[in-house]
Amino acid sequence: MKRILTSVLFSGVVTAACFGQDNSGSQRLENFSSFFTGEKKWLVLPVKNGAPKKNLELWVNGELTRWFDMEVADEKPDWFAYLDISDWKGQKMELRVDALSTASQAFTTIRQSDVDTNAAPLYKEKLRGQFHFSPKRGWTNDPNGMVYYNGEYHLFFQHNPYGRGWGNMHWGHAVSTDLLHWKEVGEALYPDKLGPMFSGSAVVDEKNTSGLGESGKPAMVMFFTGAKAWAQGLAWSNDGRTFHKLDRAVVTRINKDNRDPKVIWHEPSKKWVMVVWVERDHGQNSMQILTSPNLKDWTEASVVYGGKGDDRYLFECPEFFELPVDGNPAEKKWVLTAANSQYAIGTFDGTKFTPEVERLNGQLGRDFYASQTFNNEPKGRRIEIGWWRTHTDKDDMTFNQSQSIPMELKLERKAEGLRLTRTPVKELESLRVKTYPFSKQKLKEGGANPLSKIDIELAEIRVEFEPGTAKEVKFDVRGVPVVYNVSKQELTIDGVTSPAPLQNGKQRITIYADRTGLEVFASDGILFMPINKNIPAENRSLSLTASGGAANVSKLDVYELKSIWD
Ligand code: FRU
C-alpha cells in the first residue's frame, strides 16, 4: 500500500501527519507534500552538508513558483536555508519534496519565521573572510550586475541559497555605500522558464531608452543568461530592491553555449553595446558584439575570436570598457577581457573592436575568476571585483566562496608597454585601525626581523625597496612565504611563481592578508597575485628578511585592519 505523508504549517509550527500504513517496517523513499498558508517572511529549510540532494518545489495558488535542489537534513541540520515567501501572505502554498525517507524528520524542522536565527554567529565564523564579501549562506561564484544606482553600489552574485556547492543559480544581492561594508538584501533573480540565472551585468538607463523608468527616475536594467534557453534575458528595478522581468529573452541562442552578457552605453554612437561569450564550432571561443537603441532590441554587429578548446583566452564572462592612458582623457583605449583576466587593448568604433595587443595577463595568482567592473561608478573610476575561490566548505560553515577586494583599474605606459594595472581602492584605508610605521633601513642577510613585534590577524603591508646585493627579499605573512627572487624578478607565493619586473630599479609590494588568503600587488600594479589559502587565526606573526646580500628598504608600513562585518 502506498504511504502518503503530509503535514501542515500553521503559525510557524509544523504538524506532520501521516496517512496510510507502512507494513514493511523498513525505511522507503516517498514524495512528501505539505500544505500551508503564508504567514511569515521566510520558509526555513533544514540543510545537511553532503546529504543526498532532493528536489523541492514550492507551489503558490496552484502554480509552480520556486524549484531547487537541496541537501535535505533528515535528522539534525547543519544550518537552515531561508526562502522568502513574504509576497504570498495569506495565500495557499504547497511544498513538495521528492524521494524523502519515510523516517525523515525534515518536515518537523521546516517552519515559517520572521526572524533569521541561524545558530552560528553570522560573519564571525572561523573561515569567514573578514574584509571580503561572502554570502550569509550558500554558495557564490561570479559577481554579477555590478552597478552604482540610487546612491548605492549594487553587487549581485551567482548564488545557491540552499547549499554550499554550485547549483540552483540565483542572483543574490548586496548593497554598499563604500564598496566595503555589504548588506545582503535577499535574492534579486530566481530561476524561471529561461532556466537558472547565470551571470550578467546591469546598467542605469539614464535616458529611459527602454521606457522602463518610472516617474522620471531611471531604471536599473539587468541582463542575465537563462541557462536552459541559453538566451539573454532582461530584468529591471525602479527602486534597487524589487525586480521585474521581461517575459521574453532579448537575445536568443546564437550558437552552442552563449552566456554572460556585459552591457555598456557607448556615447559616441548613442547606443547600448552588449558583449556576450559565444562558443563557435570546434570549441572556438568568441565574443559576440551586439548593439541596441533601447536595451530590448539587439542587432548582431561583429565578433572577436579568442582561444580554442583549453585555450581560455576570451572564454566566459566578458568585460569591455574604455580607459584613459595615464589618466589623459585625450588618449583613450578599449580593454576587452574575460573570465581568466587575459585581455586585449584596442580601439572600438561602436560596432567593431580592433585589438592592438592581445593576450596580456591580467592576474597571475590562484583561483581568481570572472571579475566584473561597476557601471556608472560615481567618481568615474573603473572598479573591479572578482570571484575569489576560497576553501570555505569545511566544518559546519553555512557559506562557501567569496569575492575579492575591490580594485581600481588603470591603463598605464610601462617599460613593458601599455598595461592594465590594479590598485586596491582608496576606501580600504578606512579599515586601518592601527599603523606600524618603519623608518628606512637596510635589510641584511641574517639581520633582525623589523616586524617581530607585530601580532595581528588582518593585515595590510606596504613595502618599497631596491634589491641592492640581496638575492631574495622575503616576507613571511602569518605562515605564508612571499618571496621576491631578485635575479629572476619573480614573486613566489605558496608554490605559485609570477613575473614581477622592477619598476625603475624599485619593487613596491602591497599585501592584504585575510583568513582566506593573500592578495598581493607588485610592480606598481602590473602584477596582481591573489593566493587563496586558509590561514589559521592564531598565526599572527610577520617577518621581512633578505638573503644573499643587503636590500635597501625605502618605505615600510604595516596596518592592522578591522573586519567589515563589525
Ligand atoms: C563562470 C560561469 C559563467 C556562468 C556562471 C554560472 O564562472 O561559468 O560562465 O554564467 O559561472 O554560475
Kindly report the protein residue whose alpha carbon is nearest to atom 6 of ligand 1: 198
Same domain, 84 and 32: yes
| DSSP calls for 299-326 | EEEEEEEEEETT--TT-SS-EEEEEEET
Q: Would 131 be classed as within a structural domain?
A: no
Same domain, 536 and 437: yes
CATH code, domain carrying 94:
2.60.120
Tell which of 424, 446, 481 closes a domain. Answer: 424
Name 89's Cβ contacts closer than 8 Å, sequence gap at least 6: 38, 39
Same domain, 402 and 281: yes
Ligand 1 center to 380 CA (angstroms): 27
Query: Could you give the residue numbers annotated as active site?
Result: 142
Same domain, 40 and 170: no
Question: Grid coordinates representing 524?
Answer: 606598481
Q: Would 315 be classed as within a structural domain?
A: yes
Which protein residues are within 6 Å of ligand 1, measured from CB? 141-142, 158, 169, 198-199, 225, 259-260, 316-317, 339, 369-370
Q: Would 531 be classed as within a structural domain?
A: yes
Ligand 1 center to 142 CA (angstroms): 6
Tell which of 424, 442, 461 closes a domain. Answer: 424
Taking the C-alpha atoms of residue 385 and residue 472, their distance in angstroms, rounded to an integer, is 31
CATH code, domain carrying 480:
2.60.120.560
Q: Would 133 be classed as within a structural domain?
A: no
pLDDT digits (tens, 9 = 90+) for 200-250: 999 999 999 999 999 889 999 999 999 999 999 999 999 999 999 999 999
Same domain, 463 and 420: no
Looking only at the bridges linking them, the beta strands covering 220-226 and 480-485 are: unpaired
Question: pLDDT value at position 119?
Answer: 62
Q: By C-alpha distance, which of 475, 454, 441 is closest to 545?
A: 475
Name 495's Cβ contacts closer than 8 Å, sequence gap at least 6: none
Same domain, 277 and 416: yes
Ligand 1 center to 279 CA (angstroms): 14
Q: Would 494 be classed as within a structural domain?
A: yes
Report the nearest atom of ligand 1 relative to the CA of 369. Answer: 7
Tell which of 395, 424, 453 closes a domain. Answer: 424
Residues of the chain with pLDDT below 70 are 1-26, 119-120
pTM for the predicted model, two decimal places? 0.95
Question: pLDDT value at position 18?
Answer: 39
**Residue 292 and residue 271 in contact, taking contact as beta carbons nearer than 8 Å:** yes
Same domain, 449 and 539: yes
Ligand 1 center to 313 CA (angstroms): 15
Same domain, 326 and 397: yes
Q: Would 120 be classed as within a structural domain?
A: no
Same domain, 253 and 369: yes
If one counts the domains in the chain, the total is 3
Same domain, 8 and 150: no
Q: Would 74 be classed as within a structural domain?
A: yes
Residue 53's H or E segment, with its range, is strand 53-60
Report the nearest atom of ligand 1 relative to the CA of 277. Answer: 9
CATH code, domain carrying 180:
2.115.10.20
Q: Would 154 be classed as within a structural domain?
A: yes
Taking the C-alpha atoms of residue 97 and residue 55, their distance in angstroms, rounded to an integer, is 6
Domain of 549 in residue numbering reads as 432-561
Question: pLDDT value at position 154?
Answer: 99
Same domain, 195 and 247: yes
**Residue 164 and residue 143 in contact, taking contact as beta carbons nearer than 8 Å:** no
Report the nearest atom of ligand 1 relative to the CA of 198. Answer: 10
Question: Grid coordinates representing 424?
Answer: 586596491
Same domain, 84 and 228: no
